[in-house]
Amino acid sequence: MSSFSIITTALTSLQAHFQAMDTAGHNVANVNTPGFRRQEAILSSRSPYPPPGTAEGTMGGLVGTGVEVSMVRRAQDGYLGLHLRTTAGQLGQWSTLNNALKEIEAIVAPSGGENLGMLLDRFWDTWQTLSTRPDDLSARVQVRAEGVALAAAFGDLSQKLQSQAAQLNLVIKGSVDEINRLAQETADLNRQIAVATAEGKQPNDLLDQRDTLLTRLSELTGATLIAPENALPILNLGGRSLVQGQVAFALTTVEGASGNLEVHWQEDGALAQVSGGELAGQLQVQQQLIPQYLGELDTIASTLVAEVNSLHQAGFGLDGTTGVNFFTPGSTAANMSVDDALLADVRAIAAAAAGDSPGDGSVALSIAGLRNSSVMPGGESLGLAWRNLLGQVGTDTQVSGENAQAAQLLNDQLLMQQQSLAGVSLDEEMAQMIQFQHAYDAAARVLTTADEMLSTIIERMAPPV
């Protein structure tokens, strides 16, 4: 054993603790970085001298040779990452649904504003008033005005719902673009990670980055990860690989027959099965909920048009006309309008059951009676059908909101657990920094002492010439 080995030993301590301090600094720097997991410099003693089996010489056994950083370990969080990605997918889906439904709800039932049901009530009211004053032109003008307002409200509602669906095309396009970009980045990171691992390095920060990408991908698509800690993980979307190791498979959007975008695989054009995440929420609102609401609205509109027209045609106007439609026949919610004949002259509104009976309001009364008639195909009245639609939108919004909240709570909880295991605690880093600093100081002191000891030998035993 050489007298100088103490210097080397002290040096390893200086270096190792400097590196440990470096790691603590890295942790402190990333205290607020999303997805960052705490890293730890694992210190271990170096191999003793001499290696066992070689001649020991004069030494009384194996002598330690200092310390080294054997690896920089990334904090582990078990299966939390897997759970987190699952809940991220659920959270993405429900909160997307909830946000879209809140907008739809505000369209269908503007708070404090008038909704279609109130206009429908007013429409029936004006027919009632007309039945009491069939010869009064002002009562007729009111009936026509409310008819026009009601038709406009149906058109407005239908148009707003359709434009919601059209806007979702842009959102879906944006989501697919983001998914493709993230999948490509994940594949690229997989390659870097594979290279680093092959070189025996710890790609801690690359793994953190990949985790963040994977979580965002799950949030977008609900995609699941197969073999998470494998160097070549497979990201599965509806039974197919979105990312397979270093290769990413792109999605593309295709405009369907109804003008809505469909998501397909670029490789072979097959329809992508997206069952979770924000994208699934967007698709569900656009291709399931909005068509359902619009369909119900159209049924209400076309039933109203058909029923009012059939009674109105049988009646007679002040001018003796009969067989006139009140609404343009065959119209749906989108293109509902009051018939041109009535727009030209309110006298053509048929309140009477026979010609030349200006005081007869019996047809007006039977049209007003449609208010409570079970005329909808399902046997409910028009007002009830509207309220059911209102209740449906309300329930859908409420349920999606509750589910989004539950997913948020679960996600928060898992995030907390993960942060508890892998997050950075400044207190902890401070304590370790103190520890490392003292070790560094002590190693420096060993070096100084060794220097003094060597000086004793060199200066006293071999005086200057």
Partner 1 sequence: MRVSNSMISHNLLSHLGQTTENLLRLQEQMASGLKINRPSDDPMGAVRAAAVRSALAEVAQYQKNAEEGKDLLAMTDSALAEIVELVRQARDSGLAGVTGTSDAATREALARNVEQMLESIVRAANSDRAGRFLFGGYKTNAAPFSLDQSDTPPVTYSGDSGAALFEVGRSSTVAVNLAGDQVFNMNGAAEPGLSDLFSTLDSLKDSLLSGDAAQMQTSLDEIDQHLSHLLSLRAEVGARGQGIELALNRLSDTEFSLKDSLSRTEDADLAKAVVELQAQQNIYQATAAIASVLAQMGLLEFLR
Calpha distance 21→279 (Å, rounded): 44
Fill in the per-residue mask, 16 to 35: x = in contact with partner 1 (CB under 8 A), - = not in contact.
---------------xx---
3-class DSSP state for residue 429? helix
The reply on whether position 394 binds partner 1 by CB under 8 A is yes
Cα maximum dimension of the chain: 145
Count the alpha carbons within 13 Å of 429 in the hemisphere toward its beta carbon: 19
| Inter-helix orientation angle 290-314/382-422, to 10° | 170
**Which residues, numbered 35-94, are part of the site for partner 1 (CB under 8 A)?**
38
E strand or H helix at 251, and its extent? strand 251-255
Near partner 1 by CB under 8 A, which window of 16-24, 166-174, 221-229, 360-368? 360-368
Residue by residue, what is the 3-state secondary structure of 283-335? HHHHHHHHHHHHHHHHHHHHHHHHHHHHHHHHCECCCCCECCCCECCCCCCCC
3-class DSSP state for residue 386? helix
The reply on whether position 142 binds partner 1 by CB under 8 A is no
The reply on whether position 270 binds partner 1 by CB under 8 A is no
Quote the radius of gyration of the chain (alpha carbons, Å).
39
Selected binder of partner 1 within 9, 12, 93, 131 (CB under 8 A): 131
Which CB, 112 or 269, lies closer to partner 1? 112
Asked whether the beta carbons of 224 and 190 are under 8 A apart, the reply is no
Selected binder of partner 1 within 114, 121, 255, 451 (CB under 8 A): 121
Selected binder of partner 1 within 3, 266, 398, 456 (CB under 8 A): 398
Q: How far is the CB of 281 from partner 1 (least distance, A)?
A: 16
| DSSP string for 68-86 | EEEEEEEPP-TTHHHHHHH
Which CB, 310 or 362, lies closer to partner 1? 362
Selected binder of partner 1 within 423, 436, 443, 446 (CB under 8 A): 423
Which CB, 154 or 249, lies closer to partner 1? 154
Q: Which residues bind partner 1 (CB under 8 A)?
A: 31-32, 38, 101-102, 105-106, 108-109, 111-112, 115, 117-118, 121-122, 124-125, 128-129, 131-133, 135-136, 352, 354, 356-362, 365, 368-369, 371-372, 383-384, 387-388, 390-391, 393-395, 397-398, 401, 412, 415-416, 419-428, 430-431, 434
